Each structure stands twice: as C-alpha cells, then as structure tokens.
Amino acid sequence: MSHETKKTGNATNTIFAAGAAISLGAFSFAGTFLVSASIPLAALAFFLSSVIEGEVYRQNIDSSLNRFQKDSIQKNIIFNILAKRINQYLDAKAETEKKTEAVELNDDNEEKVEICEKMKAVELLKDQYFNASAESKTEAEKDIIDYLYKNENDTELTDIQKAVALFLKDDRDKIQTAIETVKARDNWIMLAAIVSGLVFSIASITALNLCTTQIAGLSLFALPWYASLLVTSFVFFAFIGESLIMYNTLMKASIDRKVHVIYKTGNSEEKTDKTKLLSAKNLVIMLIVALAIFSTVAAASTYFIALLKSIEFLIAGKGITSTMAPEIFYGAIVPVLIYSMAKLVFHISNALETSRMFSEMDSSIISKNFKKFKEQRTLYIKRTM
C-alpha cells in the first residue's frame, strides 16, 4: 500500500469516526440538556463524549475495514488459536523445567524431544512470521492457511507448516468448522450492522436538531438548502461509521467465541475453580457487565424516542396523516431492537476487555510498585527534614 493511499484511507476513516462520534456527542448534549437545562453543561457533555469516543471509534473502523480483506476470518481464527497454543506450550515448558530442574533428562527422553521440537518451531515461527517483514509475513500467512486444507501426512509440507502442525494438529477440524460457521453468519452480521447504522444516524437527526435549536436558535429543518446538504452528508458519515463499528463488534464477538470454545475444549488442564467465582475480581466483572446492560437499555429507549421524532420531522408536510403513527411506531421497534442487541454486544465486549485488563493485573507488580512508592516517599521526607 502506497503512502498516499494510506493517508487517504486514514482521512476517510477519520471522517466516518467523526460522524459517529459527533452524533453520539449530540445525544449526550440532548440528554444532559433535558436533565439540567444548562447549555454549558450540555456542551461539556458533547465535547467529552465526542473526544473520548472519537479515537475508540476510529480504531474500531480501522479494524472493521481490515475484516473485509481476503481470508480475514481464517486469519483471525487460526492465528488467535496458534498464539494461544504457543502460550500454552511456553507455560507448560516453564512448569516442566521447574519440576525437572534437579533431574537430568536423557537426550532421547520423549518429553525432552517434544519440548525441543516445539521450541525450534516457536523460533521458526518467530523468525518467519511474528518478526518477519510485511512481504515475508504475507507469504507465511498463506502457507499457514493452506496447512488447514492439506493432508496431515503430506510430505510436501513447508517448514512453517510443519511448525504450525505441532501446535494445531488436534484443532484442525474444529478450526475449519469454526471458519465455515462464522462465514455463514457474515451476511446476517452485515445486515444487523447496516440496520444499526440506520437507526443511529436517523435518530441522531433529533439530537442534532436540539443542538442547533439551543445553540444557534435555528431548527435543523429551517436551514438553507446548502446547510441541509451539509447535515445530510454528516448523517451519512455517521451511518457508515456506526455500521462499520457494529460490524466489527459483532464479527469480533463471533470469532472470539469460536476461538474460546476451541481453546477450552483442547485444553484439558484447564479446570474451573469454584472458589474463584466469588472472588473480588469476578464481582467487579459482574458489576461491569451489569452496568453495560443497564446503559444499553437506557440508550435503547433514548434511540427509540429520537428515531420516532426524527421520522416525524422527515415526513412532516409530506401528506402523511397521524393515522399512520401506529405503523411508524411498530415499524421502528424491530430496527431499534436489532440495534440494541448489537449495542449490547459492543458494551459487553468493551466491558469484558476492561475486566480482562483488570484480571491480568499481577498482585506482585502492584505490591512492588507500592513498595517503591513508599521508599520514594520516605526518601523525600528525609530530604525535607
């Protein structure tokens, strides 16, 4: 990809992200203003919401566009599983070395031979894939994907395919099934994403109208034609941006679920510790997920009301009578429900990612940093005495 093409792509992604983020900011403005009747406070909510979500949205859009590349589903599933299997092997290797550090294993010991073979495979994968140049990485990816569809006893396997076989030979069938399942869901995920984008962009018209009315004293629908064209373009960008974000979220959730199932079924050493279910970290996770569900329900009602208002604005003066209100009401329920489910996945995915980062916090690291802080504080006190 040329530098100019990359710059153009980044600019386009930024425009889509800005459309979605500013629309979300408009919702924040509307909600805050209706509660507080304070324009400065509502403007602050608009600014914070747009800025905070803007970068998150841009990253999601970048990731979403990458999912349209050739073999994207295969790559996501295969390399996620491969990374997990390598990490599993390295953990097992470290544990084995601890247990046998006082015992000298013979060179022909089966366990030692397997450890050495897999270690060589890890080094090869590191050189030819993980740390390779972009061109070499592309070739390696092609070889690894091709491995899935080759006979296990094929003598013409490349070196990198032989290395991958040491880690994925027991997962091949499950990976192939997972790939086909996710591919079959792709069109439905795309449809849900498009519906979500439509709901979000149309509902944002009401929020934007409230912004222009309160700040500029002008209704969105009383603006000159050129200003209306600008607003229409903005809403279109919001539609594209939100659709891409929801597509990325739903596809990622589908792939992550398949990867988790494959890894869990192939990891016989993984056991559920019932005492962990009541740990503080799990309670925090439950709280985060509960908040995600609550925020989704609250947002769904807001989007529903805003969508109805936007439809009323759009059809005003078009000869549509009030008798059609029930049809509009019930017609809006289905897309809002679809969008709400997609948004729920989005919120829970983000919540679980946050909880995962929280769970990975090592207590020893926290203790070490706290100890370092105490030492620095003591040193500072001594210097100032």
Q: What is the pLDDT of residue 1?
A: 52
- Least Cα distance to 54 among 17, 26, 24 occurs for 17
Confidence of residue 88 (pLDDT cuts 50, 70, 90): confident
Confidence of residue 365 (pLDDT cuts 50, 70, 90): very low
Residues 86, 158: one domain?
yes
27 part of a folded domain: yes
Instruction: Kindly report the backbone phi and psi dihedral angles of residue 156, in degrees, each rounded to the nearest multiple of 5, phi listed first.
Output: -100, 20
Cα-based distances in Å from 313 to 144, 195, 209, 274, 320: 54, 20, 10, 55, 11
Among the candidates 169, 190, 206, a domain finishes at 169
Question: What is the average pLDDT score of the chain?
Answer: 75
360 part of a folded domain: yes
378 part of a folded domain: no
Q: Is the pLDDT of residue 169 over 50?
A: yes
Residues 338, 234: one domain?
yes
Among the candidates 119, 143, 169, a domain finishes at 169
Residues 55, 81: one domain?
no
Give the Cα separation of 61 and 240 in Å (integer). 10
Confidence of residue 190 (pLDDT cuts 50, 70, 90): very high
Residues 251, 339: one domain?
yes
Give the count of domains, the chain: 2
Residues 201, 157: one domain?
no
Confidence of residue 251 (pLDDT cuts 50, 70, 90): very high
Rank 6-10, 22-26, 183-187, 345-349 by mean pLDDT and report only the highest. Answer: 183-187
Residues 230, 336: one domain?
yes
277 part of a folded domain: no
Q: Is the pLDDT of residue 155 over 50?
A: yes
129 part of a folded domain: yes
376 part of a folded domain: no
Give the Cα separation of 323 and 316 in Å (integer). 13
Tell which phi-psi region holds residue 56, choosing left (phi > 0), alpha (psi between -120 and 50) or beta.
alpha
pLDDT in tens, 296-353: 777 777 777 777 777 776 666 555 554 555 666 666 777 878 888 887 887 777 766 6
Structure tokens at 321: 């009578």
48 part of a folded domain: yes
Residues 93, 27: one domain?
no
In this structure, what is the dihedral angle of CA atoms 21, 24, 25, 29, given to the nearest 10 degrees? 170
| Residue 59 belongs to domain spanning | 3-66+175-269+283-368
pLDDT in tens, 58-70: 888 888 888 888 8
Residues 198, 112: one domain?
no
Residues 99, 212: one domain?
no
Cα-based distances in Å from 266 to 19, 85, 146, 174: 43, 9, 22, 10
Q: Is the pLDDT of residue 372 over 70?
A: no
The pTM is what?
Answer: 0.76
Contact yes or no for 50/24 (Cβ under 8 A):
yes
Residues 307, 230: one domain?
yes
Q: How many CB atoms neighbour CB 326 within 10 A?
A: 9
Which one-letter amino acid corresponds to residue 235?
Answer: V
Percent of the chain with pLDDT over 90: 6
Rank 198-212, 293-307, 345-359 by mean pLDDT and report only the highest. Answer: 198-212
80 part of a folded domain: yes
Residues 76, 163: one domain?
yes
Among the candidates 169, 190, 217, a domain finishes at 169
Residues 347, 262: one domain?
yes
